[in-house]
Amino acid sequence: MITVPVELGDRAYPVMVGAGARHELASVLADVLPGAGRAAIVTQEGIPVTVDPGLPFEVHTVPDGEGVKSLATVEQLCRAFARTGLSRADVVVAVGGGVVTDLAGFAAASFHRGTAYVNVPTTLLGQVDAAIGGKTGVNLPEGKNLVGAFWQPKAVLCDSEVLSTLPPREWTSGRGEMAKYAFLTGGGAERVGSPDASLLDLTLPEQVARCVAIKAEVVAADEHEGGRRMVLNYGHTLAHALEAARFEDGGRPDLRHGEAVAVGLLFAALLARRLDRIDDERVELHRTVIAGFDLSSELPPGSRAATLVEFMARDKKAHHDLTFVLDGPVGPEAVRGVAVSDVLATLAAMGADQHGADR
């Protein structure tokens, strides 16, 4: 078992990575929450993972799909917590992917103005990214993750055994986030070492632990995303816009989060090149890394540039401007005030539909 600490003073917590980590839940809860008398387990139908919190518990099942990440679902969860007598001294346990950990974490942050929670992520995406760092939240029709709270879990248990049943596209989604971390280890081949050596050649638990360690260090330095933590959104500005546009278009095309991040990574590289922050060789490195994780960097057919720019302008990093995390001489960093014309030109170079984008 590999334990990675997230160092946040009195809010510090362990991330345990390895085969059978979920079976440590009861002992972890006894250690970090000795006064808890009841647990609420939040999960989804079809997740073949059971946990034993070592406490009396109720299971609360939410529907499948990103569309369930809504304020309505948070209300339903909180009302269910109240009906079953959950107190502020008790604990919420999220068992599932990023949708579940985002929802359960926000419900826990809201219920009694803050109830403890523990994440047991069951997807690769959840284990390498979504379940760590305390960013919880839900979507609005106007955009992804626009309502939420910073609320750190008491522990995260990343059990590599539960990943064996993941369908292929869930693996792809997780690898999209792992590709992002390949650049956050120092930027790729010409900085700290090739992404292949730093991630792809490791065992699965080691890969997860490496990504967790990178995120933990960034979160410890900037818990509330005031500056440096924005680098964790590398590739995500376009990714979130693609996802939001998909919701608006009735779920078409089908796109997993990590798949969208892979497209967003190439977009960010091309935009950085257009702004003369990086050279052509660096752009090609992005293509190589994305392909190395068996990911596509192509925009989904029918992507409309004007729609994507509209959603990107609502991104939580933006301050009434277009803000992106872009690669550069010192690696990825936040860049504010990017011109709409440069964004549209980059999307055009990727094959986006330019109808209505003449601004």
Name the catalytic one among 24, 66, 177, 243. Answer: 177
225 classed as catalytic: yes
Catalytic residue among 225, 273, 274, 286: 225
Marked catalytic residue, from 215, 256, 273, 286: 215
CA distance 37 to 90: 6
Q: Which of 113, 319, 320, 359 is catalytic?
A: 113
Q: In the annotation, is 135 catalytic?
A: yes
Asked if 343 contacts 311 with a C-beta cutoff of 8 angstroms, the reply is no
- 229, 256, 274, 286: which is the annotated catalytic residue? 229
Residue 301 identity: P
**Catalytic (active site) residue 24:** no
Q: If DSSP states are collapsed to H, E and C, what string results for 104-153?
A: HHHHHHHHHHCCEEEEEECCHHHHHHHCCCCEEEEEECCEEEEEEEECCC
- Tell me if residue 113 is catalytic: yes
- Residue in 119, 139, 145, 233 annotated catalytic: 233
* Residue in 236, 273, 282, 316 annotated catalytic: 236
* Alpha carbons 326 and 269: distance in angstroms, whole number: 7
**Which amino acid is located at 127 in the chain?**
Q
Catalytic, 215? Answer yes
CA distances from 57 to 37, 40, 224, 231 (A): 9, 6, 31, 38
CB contact at 8 A, 2 and 209 = yes
Angle between helices 168-184 and 204-221 (to 10 degrees): 50
The total number of residues shown for the chain amounts to 359
Q: How far is CA 301 from CA 96, 259, 262, in A?
A: 30, 14, 15
Q: Out of 135, 180, 256, 273, which one is annotated catalytic?
A: 135
* Marked catalytic residue, from 257, 274, 316, 317: 257
355 assigned to active site:
no
Please say whether the beta carbons of 66 and 98 come within 8 A: no
CB distance 207 to 157 below 8 Å: no
Q: Catalytic: which of 60, 144, 175, 240?
A: 240
Residue with tokens 């839940």: 25
State the residue for tokens 């293509």. 287
Sign of the torsion formed by the C-alpha atoms of 122, 47, 152 and 327: positive
Report, as residue numbers or ranges, the catalytic residues: 113, 135, 177, 215, 225, 229, 233, 236, 240, 257
